Amino acid sequence: MRPLDEEETTVVFEKLHKFVGTNLKHIVERPSGEGPDMKTGGLYCFRMHKNRVYYVSEALVKRATNISRERLVSLGTCIGKFTKSGKFQLTIQSLDLLAAHAKRKIWLKPTSEMSFLYGNHVLKGGLGRITENTAQNEGVVIFSMSDVPLGFGVAAKSTQDCRKLDPNAIVAYHQSDIGEYLRIEDEL
Amino acid sequence: MAAVAAEEANLYQIDLGNLTAFDSHDPGASATSSEEELVKECLEKGTRLVQAIADKLFSLPSTPDKEGPLVQLPTPTTPIPREKPLPKAKPPTKWEVFAQSKGIKKRKRSKHLYDEPSGEWKRRHGYNRAGDENDIPIIEAKPTDEPGEDPFSKKKTEKKARVQKNEKSQLENLKKAAKVGALPSTVQLAATSLPITGTRDIPKKVGKDDLGHAAGFASSATASVGKFDERLPGEKTPKHPGKHRKFLPVVEGSGIGSREKQQCEKVLQKVLSSHNHDILNVDKAVKVFTVNEERNAHQKRKDRPAHQNRKDRPAHQKLKKRPAHQKHGDRPAHQKQKDRRKS
């Protein structure tokens, strides 16, 4: 377990920024409200462990130092992993964090929820609602109509273009969904 | 003057091919003379020698050219020593050793052969050669032939085997040469990819950088990792070609431990400012602008005084509400407009 260096921090922040925009500030400067220095304001921080990035409160980091590197399996919330080529991938565990601070959202119709949860892209036919002024290639968090976060992806078309699309066209590319908790349970 | 110059020129040995001149009769500088005198003397001698070369050069037959007269230099007479050592002698191949012991001598064979089936002279080797095995259309059967054996494919496999054997012996000879360090330069680069030296590279000469690295490693291989060792005059600080990554402490602290927060802040500012232009949504801004514009125009039309409107319009052209049956007629819209104009 170690803090991210400057390069890694930039990569992680850039990726998060795609989904949360300026709300990134709230994620980085989020008080943990935990541990002995509750009043002084312990924060959440990012820690790297075995190529995975964890979003942890500082109090928990302090306690986790008691555990040796080999034995430490996980701590806090894993938000993603670094690939061998140095790219950063968000994993499904980061969904709670993204959903709470999301800038662009897509709501799915109940009929297409299952299709998305099996790992398919979001089609125009399944699109219930979409945030106004979503641009192409922006990160979007995907919700069910009852506001339950289901996953996240990338907008394939801007909101304007979505109106004219035919029902079978892709609106958002699938990146991750909560079905992965079952499908690739052992990789998470 | 000219006579003196000619005499001097005879005195010196001039090699025009190398553009050099020597004075073999010069006794050399006396040991007692001071440095200044020595330099002066050398310069004088030098100018005289250069002058002698120039005189000789301009006496050569020349052809006029754009830049001036052009002279063909004669072949150099002074042998100049080689810069690099002579290449090492290649060890004799297995065949060469065998030929030596048997007294077999190489003899020249003609490049061309008469090819009977085509009735032409063809090259001995290579494409379209005489007696090419691939081009034989018919092979005569012999009493010794085994039944059920394809003589064509047999020839092919035999040829392949011969090629393979030759390759093998070639490699063996190259291995022998590599041991002595006499690999031909054409094979040197491929020495590791061919099974000659195994995975070992041919030892190279140690370069300047390698020496620097070695010195760096040596000087830092002490108890203090080279920190308290005196450097020799001219010795540089050791180089560390390896990357040493240092990470901030795991747990937030007061000293260096507080640096993570600064780093986070810095990166956050960088990321946010790099996406600063996203704050302005151009599409939305354009939409708002056009809506405002329309609204303003509409307002202006409304604000125009009422009596002015009446004056502009001719008195007979009053806007009338049409009767209902005419309004919902089945004529197209532009026809309706025409009708209106007529009335």
E runs forming strands in B18-101: 20-22, 62-63, 70-71
What mean pLDDT do residues B149-168 have? 93
Q: Model confidence over A162-182: pLDDT tens digits?
A: 888 898 999 999 999 999 999
DSSP letter at A95 equals H
Q: What is the pLDDT of residue A11?
A: 93
B182-221, pLDDT tens digit by residue?
Answer: 888 778 777 777 777 776 776 666 777 777 777 777 877 8
B260 contact A CB<8A = yes
pLDDT, tens digit (0-9, with 9 covering 90-100), for B96-142? 999 999 999 999 999 999 998 889 999 999 998 998 888 888 888 88
Using the beta-carbon criterion (under 8 Å), do A10 and B283 form an inter-chain contact? no
- Is residue B331 predicted with pLDDT exceeding 60? no
Write down the pLDDT at residue B329. 45
**Is residue B278's pLDDT more than 60?**
yes
Q: Where in the sequence of chain A do the CATH 3.10.450.220 domains occur?
A: 2-97
The rounded Cα A16 to chain-centroid distance in angstroms is 7
Nearest CA of chain B to the CA of A179: how many Å?
Answer: 31
CATH top-level class of A2-97: alpha beta
Residue B261 clears pLDDT 70, i.e. is over it: yes
Residues of chain B numbered 226-245 and touching chain A (CB < 8 Å): 245
Among residues of chain B, what percentage have pLDDT more than 90?
24
Q: Could you report the per-residue pLDDT of B14-41, keeping only the tens digit for each?
A: 899 999 998 888 777 677 778 888 888 8
Please state, in angstroms and rounded to a whole number, the distance separating the CA atoms of residues B189 and A81: 41
For the residues B255-270, what does the mean pLDDT come to?
A: 82
pLDDT score of B166 more than 80 = yes
Whether B252 has its CB under 8 Å from any CB of chain A: the answer is yes
Q: Is pLDDT above 50 for B250?
A: yes
A21–B contact, CB cutoff 8 A: yes
Tell me which CATH homologous superfamily contains domain A104-184: PUA domain (2.30.130.10)
Is A30 touching B (CB cutoff 8 A)? Answer: no
Residue A187 CA to residue B4 CA, distance in Å, equals 98
Q: Is the pTM of this model over 0.80?
A: no
Residue B165 banded pLDDT, cuts 50, 70, 90? very high
The whole-number pLDDT of residue A174 equals 94
- Could you please report the per-residue DSSP string of B224-259? TTTSSPPPPTTPPPPP--S-------SS--SSGGGH
* pLDDT band (50, 70, 90) for residue B340: low
Alpha-carbon distance of B282 to B228, in angstroms, equals: 63
Alpha carbons B168 and A171: distance in angstroms, whole number: 63
The region that residue A33 occupies, defined by phi over 0 for left and psi between -120 and 50 for alpha, beta otherwise, is: left
Angle at which helices B94-102 and B151-180 pack, to 10 degrees? 90
Which tokens sit at A33? 């409200």
Q: Where does CATH 2.30.130.10 sit in chain A?
A: 104-184
Q: How far is A113 from chain B (nearest CA, A)?
A: 30
Judging contacts by C-beta atoms under 8 Å, the chain B residues touching residue A47 are 250
Nearest residue in B to A59, CA atom: B251
DSSP B67: S
Percent of chain B whose pLDDT exceeds 70: 78
CB contact under 8 A, A13 and B283: no
Q: Is A17 on the interface with B (CB under 8 A)?
A: yes
Partner residue opposite B268 with nearest CB, options A21, A24, A61: A24
A41 in contact with B at a CB cutoff of 8 Å? Answer: no
- Comparing CA positions, the residue from A108, A110, A134 lying closest to residue A122 is A108
Say if CB B41 and CB B28 are below 8 A apart: no
Secondary structure string (H, E, C) spanning chain A? CEECCHHHHHHHHHHHHHHHHHHHHHHHCCECCCCCCCCCCCEEEEEEECCEEEEEEHHHHHHHCCCCCCCCCCCCEEEEEECCCCCEEECHHHHHHHHHHCCCEEEECHHHHHHHHCCCCEEHHHEEEECCCCCCCCEEEEEECCCCEEEEEEECCCHHHHHHCCCCCEEEEEEEECCHHHHCHHHC
Residue B343 — pLDDT band, cuts 50, 70, 90?
very low
pLDDT of residue A95: 92
pLDDT tens sequence for chain A (188 residues): 888 888 899 999 999 999 998 888 888 888 877 666 555 557 888 999 999 999 998 888 888 889 998 999 999 899 999 999 989 999 999 999 999 999 999 999 999 999 999 999 999 998 988 988 888 889 999 999 999 999 999 999 888 888 888 989 999 999 999 999 999 988 88
Mean pLDDT of all residues in B84-90 = 84
Over 90: is that where the pLDDT of B93 sits?
yes
Q: Is A95:B281 a contact under the CB 8 Å cutoff?
A: no
pLDDT in tens, B53-63: 999 998 888 88
The pLDDT-based confidence of B4 (bands split at 50, 70, 90) is low
Residue B8 one-letter amino acid:
E
Using CB atoms, pick whichever of B249, B264, B270 lies closest to residue A28. B264
Give the other-Cβ count within 10 Å of B56's Cβ.
Answer: 16
CB-based contact B287:B281 (threshold 8 Å)? no
Give the tens place of pLDDT for each residue, B282-315: 777 888 889 999 999 999 888 876 555 555 555 5
pLDDT at A133: 83
Best mutation target among A7, A13, A137 (most B Cβ atoms within 10 Å) is: A13
Instruction: List chain A residues with CB under 8 Å of B272.
Output: 17, 22, 24-25
Mean pLDDT of chain B: 80
- Kind and range of the H or E element at B108? none
Is the distance from CB of B121 to CB of B113 less than 8 angstroms?
Answer: yes
Distance CA A25, CA A143 (A): 23
Chain B residues in contact with A1 by the CB 8 A cut-off are: 250
Task: Please give the C-alpha separations between residue B22 and each of A150, B11, B338, in angstroms, as whole numbers.
Answer: 94, 9, 114
Chains A, B: CB pairs < 8 Å: 56
Q: Which residues of A touch B251 (CB under 8 A)?
A: 58, 61-62, 65
Which residues, other chains included, contact B29 with Cβ-Cβ below 8 Å and sequence gap of 6+?
Answer: B38, B41, B42
From the list A23, A17, A19, A78, the residue with the least C-alpha distance to A50 is A78
